[in-house]
Structure 1
């Protein structure tokens, strides 16, 4: 055995590994497909559970990105929260202002329909109950409480079309606002 060569090496020279296969769909198409699946899931299984027909809770922000959530929460008080759609899978994410940063937790819906923060045991029949629970029981492992919801925009374009529809992100709302296309209603969060 040659004493100058290691028995094994975990490092491979550049070019050793084959280039990753290109995704089957471009990123924009994947994002559009995920949004379509999310919207269908939301309309078929969640909308009626969140509130009366045509009304959504003020803490629900729909399709906003993690970055947009952080921008909205950065100057808010500790524990201020919102719920948004996940950017990577069909489902919800809880975003809140923690002590030193914004935190994001995937919200899972169990087979029996109850909601839970992924990795926690405390399950609740309704999403609002889960949020209320964490106003008195801290979110693990950070031991931080949810204190107040960050209200979302409720924007009406016409009687048939509303920008609070979960398909619109806050950046889309801002773009339309810049074009003076819609009317803002109380509770604007963007």
Structure 2
């Protein structure tokens, strides 16, 4: 509390009210014995605020209404007096006393009518006040709920942002781990005099001097690796245009039979050209879970596998920048051809957490097909 000091004493001083224990007395609203809960106190304060506002508006309305009623009956009385003076007083009634009684009777009737209309006006104002109090209360309540909803939305957005950042960090970690594993295996292969290892599914390739190397213990069947032909163009560090991607596909991927079926040599049903993620999702929209397609990527030297799962879509990048095909960051297996990768994951999951098994291939929905520019 403030304490008064003599005149000329410029400092101010505060004394705090203390409890029986000598400490500063503090009352936390809603927590003392007998207090209402905090939510109830807020409800009561909003209701009281609405009632007070409505009462002030009702008072202003009543002042206007009362002024209208007074003016109405004041004008009526003046008019009647004028009529009596002009007609009754002078012409019809000679007896001034009778005229006075008639005037008093009329005044009494006017007062009754005024009282009736006043009561009617008061009742109307009261009803408007009640209605206005309800409207103000609902408005305050709506504002409170909107404020709480905005706070909840902000918290939810922050949580989604946090999860998204964690997922990005996890993907980066997996990608770094995959690149490190690739470099490690490549160095091991070079040290042993082999072509860069393709996958644990394949045995060692025959070297160009005709001497056949021993089979890798992880291989399933022998594969002869063709020595890549000398490239006639300098590949950029990453795709920079659609024309460059087309040239890369024609000069590097067609010789490796990318997108072709092994048995028939025909373009695989699941293979698509340079289409966007949105176009791929549109093609897969009405297809069952497990449906998939492979499209030429515009982000890396490779492909993107678009997969339809129960609640949406997944997109996996396939690295084709070296002498093998493998998923970036999710699967360490390396495959000699793009078709080998697809066939392998028709029986084996792409990720252990997602359990993605490739099922129905998604074909073309237009003519000419979207891959036509790649095979011209």
Normalised by the length of structure 2, the TM-score is 0.32
Change (3 A) 1:92 1:166: farther
Is the 8 Å Cα contact of residues 324 and 336 (structure 2) preserved in structure 1? Answer: yes
TM-superposed deviation, 1:86? 1.5
CA–CA distance in 2 between the matches of 1:163 and 1:71?
14
SS at match of 1:148: coil
Report 1 or 2 for greater relative contact order, CA contacts < 8 Å, sequence distance ≥ 6. Answer: 1
Is the 8 Å Cα contact of residues 138 and 144 (structure 1) preserved in structure 2? Answer: yes
Q: Does residue 124 of structure 1 match 2:338?
A: no
- Which is greater in Rg? 2
1:133-180 per-residue CA deviation (whole Å, 9 max, x = no partner) reads 111111114111111211125745xxxxx764146xxxxxxxxxxxxx
Within the candidate set 344, 347, 359, 1:147 is matched to 359
1:50-73 per-residue CA deviation (whole Å, 9 max, x = no partner) reads 238x95222111011100100110
Aligned to 1:97: 308
Within the candidate set 241, 244, 252, 1:34 is matched to 241
Change (3 A) 1:77 1:163: closer
- Bigger proportion of residues as strand: 1
Q: Does residue 57 of structure 1 match 2:264?
A: no
SS at match of 2:372: coil
Gaps of 5+ in 2: 1-238
Gaps of 5+ in 1: 1-31, 157-161, 168-190
Normalised by the length of structure 1, the TM-score is 0.60
Is the 8 Å Cα contact of residues 37 and 90 (structure 1) preserved in structure 2? Answer: no
Is the 8 Å Cα contact of residues 290 and 309 (structure 2) preserved in structure 1? Answer: yes
CA–CA distance in 2 between the matches of 1:163 and 1:85?
10
TM-superposed deviation, 1:98? 1.5
Is the 8 Å Cα contact of residues 38 and 91 (structure 1) preserved in structure 2? Answer: no
SS at match of 1:102: strand
Aligned to 2:226: none
Is the 8 Å Cα contact of residues 62 and 85 (structure 1) preserved in structure 2? Answer: yes
SS at match of 1:83: strand
Count of aligned positions: 130
SS at match of 1:150: coil
Is the 8 Å Cα contact of residues 94 and 107 (structure 1) preserved in structure 2? Answer: yes
TM-superposed deviation, 1:90? 3.2
- Bigger proportion of residues as helix: 2
Q: Does residue 70 of structure 1 match 2:277?
A: no
Q: Does residue 165 of structure 1 match 2:372?
A: yes
CA–CA distance in 2 between the matches of 1:97 and 1:70?
8
1:81-128 per-residue CA deviation (whole Å, 9 max, x = no partner) reads 1111113233211111012211101101263x2111112111111111
SS at match of 1:62: coil
Change (3 A) 1:139 1:45: same
